[in-house]
Structure 1
Amino acid sequence: MDGSEDRFTELYERHHGDVWRYAARRVGGSDVGDVVAEVFLVAWRRLHEVPAESALPWLYGVARLVLANEARGRRRWRELTLRVAAEPNQSVAVDHADEVISQRDVAVAFDQVSEADREVLRLVAWERLTVAEAAVVLGCSRATFAMRLMRARRRLRTRLGVVGVEAGQAPQTAPSMSNGGR
Protein backbone atom coordinates (compact mmCIF):
# COMPACT_ATOMS: atom_id res chain seq x y z
CA MET A 1 0.00 0.00 0.00
CA ASP A 2 0.98 3.65 -0.02
CA GLY A 3 1.60 3.91 3.73
CA SER A 4 -2.09 4.47 4.49
CA GLU A 5 -2.32 1.40 6.66
CA ASP A 6 0.66 2.49 8.77
CA ARG A 7 -0.67 6.03 9.06
CA PHE A 8 -4.09 4.75 10.13
CA THR A 9 -2.56 2.35 12.67
CA GLU A 10 -0.54 5.18 14.19
CA LEU A 11 -3.64 7.45 14.23
CA TYR A 12 -5.71 4.75 15.87
CA GLU A 13 -3.15 3.82 18.51
CA ARG A 14 -2.42 7.44 19.33
CA HIS A 15 -6.01 8.72 19.61
CA HIS A 16 -8.26 5.74 20.33
CA GLY A 17 -8.31 6.36 24.08
CA ASP A 18 -9.05 10.07 23.66
CA VAL A 19 -11.91 9.41 21.24
CA TRP A 20 -13.25 6.70 23.56
CA ARG A 21 -13.31 9.10 26.52
CA TYR A 22 -14.89 11.85 24.39
CA ALA A 23 -17.71 9.49 23.37
CA ALA A 24 -18.09 8.00 26.86
CA ARG A 25 -18.70 11.45 28.35
CA ARG A 26 -21.58 11.91 25.92
CA VAL A 27 -23.19 8.46 25.71
CA GLY A 28 -23.24 5.53 28.04
CA GLY A 29 -22.98 1.81 28.00
CA SER A 30 -22.35 -0.26 24.94
CA ASP A 31 -23.01 2.65 22.58
CA VAL A 32 -19.51 4.04 23.19
CA GLY A 33 -17.82 1.23 21.28
CA ASP A 34 -20.16 1.69 18.32
CA VAL A 35 -19.50 5.43 18.20
CA VAL A 36 -15.73 4.98 18.39
CA ALA A 37 -15.81 2.30 15.70
CA GLU A 38 -17.80 4.59 13.42
CA VAL A 39 -15.37 7.48 14.02
CA PHE A 40 -12.39 5.36 13.02
CA LEU A 41 -14.25 3.91 10.04
CA VAL A 42 -14.78 7.46 8.80
CA ALA A 43 -11.12 8.23 9.52
CA TRP A 44 -10.04 5.21 7.45
CA ARG A 45 -12.29 6.12 4.56
CA ARG A 46 -11.21 9.77 4.62
CA LEU A 47 -7.62 9.27 5.76
CA HIS A 48 -6.36 11.69 3.12
CA GLU A 49 -8.46 14.45 4.79
CA VAL A 50 -7.16 13.88 8.33
CA PRO A 51 -4.78 16.75 9.11
CA ALA A 52 -1.47 15.40 10.34
CA GLU A 53 -0.88 18.26 12.79
CA SER A 54 -4.38 18.32 14.31
CA ALA A 55 -5.84 14.84 13.92
CA LEU A 56 -7.47 14.72 17.36
CA PRO A 57 -9.71 17.78 16.85
CA TRP A 58 -10.67 16.39 13.43
CA LEU A 59 -11.57 13.05 15.07
CA TYR A 60 -13.59 14.89 17.73
CA GLY A 61 -15.47 16.67 14.95
CA VAL A 62 -16.28 13.34 13.34
CA ALA A 63 -17.35 11.96 16.73
CA ARG A 64 -19.66 14.93 17.24
CA LEU A 65 -21.36 14.22 13.90
CA VAL A 66 -21.60 10.48 14.64
CA LEU A 67 -23.21 11.26 18.00
CA ALA A 68 -25.66 13.62 16.32
CA ASN A 69 -26.60 10.88 13.85
CA GLU A 70 -27.04 8.41 16.72
CA ALA A 71 -29.30 10.87 18.56
CA ARG A 72 -31.39 11.40 15.42
CA GLY A 73 -31.70 7.64 15.00
CA ARG A 74 -32.85 7.17 18.60
CA ARG A 75 -35.38 9.99 18.24
CA ARG A 76 -36.74 8.48 15.02
CA TRP A 77 -36.95 5.09 16.66
CA ARG A 78 -38.97 6.50 19.58
CA GLU A 79 -41.28 8.32 17.16
CA LEU A 80 -41.72 5.12 15.17
CA THR A 81 -42.67 3.06 18.20
CA LEU A 82 -45.16 5.66 19.29
CA ARG A 83 -46.65 5.86 15.81
CA VAL A 84 -46.93 2.07 15.51
CA ALA A 85 -48.63 1.81 18.88
CA ALA A 86 -51.01 4.68 18.10
CA GLU A 87 -52.33 3.27 14.81
CA PRO A 88 -56.07 2.84 15.38
CA ASN A 89 -57.72 -0.49 14.63
CA GLN A 90 -60.63 0.44 12.42
CA SER A 91 -62.57 -2.74 13.19
CA VAL A 92 -62.72 -2.12 16.95
CA ALA A 93 -64.06 0.96 18.70
CA VAL A 94 -61.53 2.08 21.28
CA ASP A 95 -61.59 4.61 24.06
CA HIS A 96 -58.36 6.48 23.49
CA ALA A 97 -58.41 7.90 26.99
CA ASP A 98 -57.97 4.35 28.33
CA GLU A 99 -55.05 3.69 25.97
CA VAL A 100 -52.55 6.26 27.18
CA ILE A 101 -49.24 4.45 27.53
CA SER A 102 -45.89 5.91 28.44
CA GLN A 103 -43.18 6.29 25.81
CA ARG A 104 -40.93 4.04 27.84
CA ASP A 105 -43.51 1.25 27.89
CA VAL A 106 -43.86 1.42 24.11
CA ALA A 107 -40.09 1.27 23.63
CA VAL A 108 -39.77 -1.68 26.00
CA ALA A 109 -42.63 -3.55 24.32
CA PHE A 110 -41.20 -2.89 20.86
CA ASP A 111 -37.83 -4.25 22.00
CA GLN A 112 -39.52 -7.39 23.30
CA VAL A 113 -41.06 -8.47 20.00
CA SER A 114 -38.86 -10.38 17.58
CA GLU A 115 -36.61 -8.64 15.06
CA ALA A 116 -38.81 -10.06 12.29
CA ASP A 117 -41.90 -8.44 13.86
CA ARG A 118 -40.04 -5.14 14.33
CA GLU A 119 -39.02 -5.14 10.65
CA VAL A 120 -42.61 -5.80 9.50
CA LEU A 121 -43.88 -2.98 11.73
CA ARG A 122 -41.11 -0.60 10.61
CA LEU A 123 -41.83 -1.17 6.91
CA VAL A 124 -45.45 -0.10 7.36
CA ALA A 125 -45.08 2.56 10.06
CA TRP A 126 -41.64 4.07 9.44
CA GLU A 127 -41.19 3.54 5.73
CA ARG A 128 -44.93 4.02 5.13
CA LEU A 129 -45.08 1.22 2.59
CA THR A 130 -48.31 -0.40 1.53
CA VAL A 131 -48.78 -4.08 2.26
CA ALA A 132 -48.00 -4.86 -1.38
CA GLU A 133 -44.81 -2.76 -1.35
CA ALA A 134 -43.62 -4.23 1.94
CA ALA A 135 -44.26 -7.74 0.61
CA VAL A 136 -41.87 -6.99 -2.26
CA VAL A 137 -39.22 -5.84 0.22
CA LEU A 138 -39.48 -9.09 2.18
CA GLY A 139 -39.84 -11.24 -0.92
CA CYS A 140 -43.19 -12.74 0.03
CA SER A 141 -46.76 -12.55 -1.21
CA ARG A 142 -49.11 -9.73 -0.26
CA ALA A 143 -51.26 -12.17 1.72
CA THR A 144 -48.24 -13.52 3.60
CA PHE A 145 -47.08 -10.04 4.50
CA ALA A 146 -50.60 -9.01 5.60
CA MET A 147 -50.70 -12.04 7.91
CA ARG A 148 -47.23 -11.24 9.31
CA LEU A 149 -48.30 -7.63 9.90
CA MET A 150 -51.49 -8.68 11.69
CA ARG A 151 -49.54 -11.09 13.91
CA ALA A 152 -46.76 -8.57 14.61
CA ARG A 153 -49.31 -5.95 15.65
CA ARG A 154 -51.08 -8.46 17.87
CA ARG A 155 -47.81 -9.45 19.55
CA LEU A 156 -46.88 -5.78 20.07
CA ARG A 157 -50.30 -5.08 21.59
CA THR A 158 -49.85 -8.08 23.88
CA ARG A 159 -46.39 -6.89 24.95
CA LEU A 160 -47.76 -3.39 25.58
CA GLY A 161 -50.32 -4.87 27.96
CA VAL A 162 -47.67 -6.95 29.76
CA VAL A 163 -45.27 -4.00 30.05
CA GLY A 164 -48.02 -1.87 31.61
CA VAL A 165 -48.74 -4.57 34.20
CA GLU A 166 -45.01 -4.98 34.95
CA ALA A 167 -44.75 -1.21 35.46
CA GLY A 168 -47.44 -1.40 38.15
CA GLN A 169 -50.26 -0.04 36.00
CA ALA A 170 -53.68 -1.59 35.92
CA PRO A 171 -54.09 -4.08 33.07
CA GLN A 172 -55.40 -2.26 30.06
CA THR A 173 -56.26 -2.83 26.48
CA ALA A 174 -53.18 -1.94 24.48
CA PRO A 175 -53.58 0.39 21.51
CA SER A 176 -54.76 -1.26 18.36
CA MET A 177 -52.95 -0.83 15.09
CA SER A 178 -54.45 -1.00 11.63
CA ASN A 179 -52.71 -0.93 8.31
CA GLY A 180 -54.23 2.46 7.59
CA GLY A 181 -56.18 1.06 4.64
CA ARG A 182 -53.07 -0.26 3.00
Structure 2
Amino acid sequence: MTAAQRDPARGRRFEDLAAAVYEPLLRYLRRRTDPATTDDVLGDVLLVLWRRLEDVPPELPRPYAYGVARGCLANSRRGTVRQERVAHRLARQRPDGGDPADGVLTEALDALPQADRELLCLRAWEQLPPRGLRTRLSLIDPAAAGDPIDPGRARGPGNWWHAP
Protein backbone atom coordinates (compact mmCIF):
# COMPACT_ATOMS: atom_id res chain seq x y z
CA MET A 1 0.00 0.00 0.00
CA THR A 2 1.40 3.38 -0.99
CA ALA A 3 1.54 6.45 1.23
CA ALA A 4 -1.14 8.10 -0.92
CA GLN A 5 -3.41 5.09 -0.40
CA ARG A 6 -2.82 5.18 3.37
CA ASP A 7 -3.53 8.92 3.50
CA PRO A 8 -5.74 10.02 0.60
CA ALA A 9 -5.74 13.63 1.81
CA ARG A 10 -1.93 13.71 1.55
CA GLY A 11 -2.10 12.25 -1.95
CA ARG A 12 -4.62 14.89 -3.04
CA ARG A 13 -2.51 17.66 -1.49
CA PHE A 14 0.53 16.47 -3.44
CA GLU A 15 -1.46 16.21 -6.67
CA ASP A 16 -2.69 19.78 -6.17
CA LEU A 17 0.84 20.97 -5.40
CA ALA A 18 2.31 19.17 -8.43
CA ALA A 19 -0.38 20.63 -10.69
CA ALA A 20 0.39 24.12 -9.40
CA VAL A 21 4.17 23.97 -9.73
CA TYR A 22 4.88 21.52 -12.57
CA GLU A 23 4.75 23.91 -15.55
CA PRO A 24 6.52 26.82 -13.80
CA LEU A 25 9.28 24.45 -12.63
CA LEU A 26 9.59 22.97 -16.10
CA ARG A 27 10.09 26.44 -17.61
CA TYR A 28 12.53 27.38 -14.82
CA LEU A 29 14.67 24.30 -15.42
CA ARG A 30 14.52 24.52 -19.23
CA ARG A 31 16.02 28.01 -19.02
CA ARG A 32 18.91 26.69 -16.94
CA THR A 33 19.88 23.31 -18.36
CA ASP A 34 19.56 20.79 -21.17
CA PRO A 35 16.37 18.74 -21.76
CA ALA A 36 17.66 15.46 -20.29
CA THR A 37 18.87 17.16 -17.12
CA THR A 38 15.59 19.09 -16.93
CA ASP A 39 13.64 15.83 -16.85
CA ASP A 40 15.93 14.27 -14.24
CA VAL A 41 15.95 17.30 -11.99
CA LEU A 42 12.19 17.80 -12.28
CA GLY A 43 11.71 14.22 -11.12
CA ASP A 44 14.06 14.86 -8.20
CA VAL A 45 12.16 18.03 -7.28
CA LEU A 46 8.81 16.26 -7.27
CA LEU A 47 10.27 13.48 -5.13
CA VAL A 48 11.59 16.01 -2.59
CA LEU A 49 8.25 17.80 -2.58
CA TRP A 50 6.46 14.51 -1.92
CA ARG A 51 8.84 13.55 0.88
CA ARG A 52 8.72 17.00 2.49
CA LEU A 53 5.09 17.79 1.73
CA GLU A 54 4.46 18.85 5.32
CA ASP A 55 7.23 21.50 5.00
CA VAL A 56 5.69 23.15 1.90
CA PRO A 57 3.98 26.36 2.99
CA PRO A 58 0.41 26.19 1.62
CA GLU A 59 0.34 29.93 0.96
CA LEU A 60 3.69 29.97 -0.96
CA PRO A 61 4.21 26.61 -2.66
CA ARG A 62 5.85 27.98 -5.80
CA PRO A 63 8.73 29.87 -4.11
CA TYR A 64 9.38 26.81 -1.96
CA ALA A 65 9.38 24.58 -5.06
CA TYR A 66 11.80 26.94 -6.83
CA GLY A 67 14.16 26.68 -3.86
CA VAL A 68 13.99 22.89 -4.03
CA ALA A 69 14.57 23.01 -7.80
CA ARG A 70 17.58 25.27 -7.33
CA GLY A 71 19.08 22.83 -4.83
CA CYS A 72 18.35 19.78 -7.00
CA LEU A 73 19.89 21.49 -10.04
CA ALA A 74 23.00 22.37 -8.03
CA ASN A 75 23.27 18.74 -6.89
CA SER A 76 22.96 17.58 -10.48
CA ARG A 77 25.69 19.95 -11.63
CA ARG A 78 28.00 18.85 -8.82
CA GLY A 79 27.38 15.25 -9.78
CA THR A 80 28.19 16.00 -13.42
CA VAL A 81 31.43 17.74 -12.47
CA ARG A 82 32.43 14.78 -10.28
CA GLN A 83 31.68 12.33 -13.10
CA GLU A 84 33.69 14.39 -15.59
CA ARG A 85 36.65 14.54 -13.20
CA VAL A 86 36.59 10.79 -12.69
CA ALA A 87 36.22 10.14 -16.43
CA HIS A 88 39.12 12.49 -17.19
CA ARG A 89 41.28 10.85 -14.55
CA LEU A 90 40.43 7.38 -15.87
CA ALA A 91 40.99 8.40 -19.48
CA ARG A 92 44.50 9.54 -18.61
CA GLN A 93 45.44 6.26 -16.98
CA ARG A 94 47.07 3.57 -19.01
CA PRO A 95 45.52 0.11 -18.81
CA ASP A 96 48.83 -1.40 -17.63
CA GLY A 97 48.68 0.79 -14.52
CA GLY A 98 51.74 2.81 -15.54
CA ASP A 99 52.19 6.45 -14.62
CA PRO A 100 50.32 8.56 -17.20
CA ALA A 101 52.12 11.75 -16.19
CA ASP A 102 55.31 10.89 -18.05
CA GLY A 103 55.65 14.14 -19.90
CA VAL A 104 55.40 14.55 -23.62
CA LEU A 105 52.58 12.09 -24.29
CA THR A 106 50.40 13.57 -21.58
CA GLU A 107 51.04 17.11 -22.80
CA ALA A 108 50.27 16.10 -26.38
CA LEU A 109 47.02 14.44 -25.36
CA ASP A 110 46.02 17.44 -23.25
CA ALA A 111 46.65 19.75 -26.21
CA LEU A 112 44.17 17.85 -28.40
CA PRO A 113 40.48 18.69 -28.63
CA GLN A 114 38.35 16.40 -26.45
CA ALA A 115 36.91 14.46 -29.43
CA ASP A 116 40.36 13.76 -30.89
CA ARG A 117 41.73 12.75 -27.49
CA GLU A 118 38.80 10.36 -27.02
CA LEU A 119 39.33 8.86 -30.47
CA LEU A 120 43.03 8.21 -29.83
CA CYS A 121 42.37 6.74 -26.41
CA LEU A 122 39.72 4.38 -27.77
CA ARG A 123 42.04 3.24 -30.55
CA ALA A 124 45.18 2.89 -28.43
CA TRP A 125 43.90 1.72 -25.07
CA GLU A 126 40.74 -0.13 -25.98
CA GLN A 127 42.15 -1.58 -29.24
CA LEU A 128 39.02 -0.62 -31.15
CA PRO A 129 39.50 -1.18 -34.88
CA PRO A 130 39.12 1.80 -37.23
CA ARG A 131 35.84 0.39 -38.56
CA GLY A 132 34.39 0.26 -35.05
CA LEU A 133 35.55 3.80 -34.35
CA ARG A 134 33.99 5.07 -37.57
CA THR A 135 30.69 3.40 -36.70
CA ARG A 136 30.77 4.74 -33.14
CA LEU A 137 31.60 8.27 -34.29
CA SER A 138 28.87 8.24 -36.92
CA LEU A 139 26.35 7.49 -34.19
CA ILE A 140 27.56 10.48 -32.19
CA ASP A 141 28.19 12.90 -35.05
CA PRO A 142 27.70 11.78 -38.67
CA ALA A 143 30.14 14.46 -39.84
CA ALA A 144 32.83 13.00 -37.59
CA ALA A 145 32.85 9.69 -39.47
CA GLY A 146 34.87 11.21 -42.33
CA ASP A 147 38.63 11.38 -42.52
CA PRO A 148 39.83 13.10 -39.32
CA ILE A 149 43.00 14.33 -41.03
CA ASP A 150 41.42 15.61 -44.22
CA PRO A 151 37.61 15.57 -44.16
CA GLY A 152 37.53 16.24 -47.90
CA ARG A 153 39.64 13.18 -48.74
CA ALA A 154 37.67 10.13 -49.86
CA ARG A 155 37.87 6.94 -47.88
CA GLY A 156 39.81 4.25 -49.64
CA PRO A 157 42.51 1.60 -49.27
CA GLY A 158 45.26 4.20 -48.87
CA ASN A 159 43.44 5.96 -46.08
CA TRP A 160 44.18 4.75 -42.53
CA TRP A 161 40.51 5.31 -41.68
CA HIS A 162 39.40 2.70 -44.18
CA ALA A 163 39.08 -0.77 -42.71
CA PRO A 164 38.80 -3.71 -45.12
Q: Percent identity?
A: 30
2:25/2:42 contact within 8 Å kept? yes
Which residue number in structure 2 is paired with residue 136 of structure 1? none
Matched, 1:8 2:3: no
Following TM superposition, the consecutive aligned residue runs of length 4 or more in structure 1 with deviations greater than 6 angstroms are 91-94
Distance 2:73 2:99 in 1: 42
Matched, 1:68 2:74: yes
Q: Summarize the alignment of residues 2-151 of structure 1 with structure 2, pairs less than 5 Å apart.
A: 3-88=9-94, 89=96, 90=98, 95-100=105-110, 101-103=112-114
Shift of 1:2: 5.2
After superposition, the C-alpha distances for 1:54-105 in whole angstroms (9 at most, x for unaligned) are 1100100000011101111111111111101111442998833443343455
Which residue number in structure 1 is paired with residue 3 of structure 2? none
**TM-score when normalising by structure 1:** 0.56
Distance 1:19 1:3 in 2: 23
Matched residue of 2:11: which SS? helix
2:29/2:38 contact within 8 Å kept? yes
**Structure 2: 5+ residue stretches without partners:** 1-6, 138-143, 151-164
1:19/1:36 contact within 8 Å kept? yes
Higher relative contact order (CA 8 A, sep 6+): 1
**TM-score when normalising by structure 2:** 0.62
**Structure 1: 5+ residue stretches without partners:** 114-152, 171-182
1:20/1:32 contact within 8 Å kept? yes
Distance 1:45 1:105 in 2: 45
For these two proteins, the number of residue pairs brought into alignment is 123
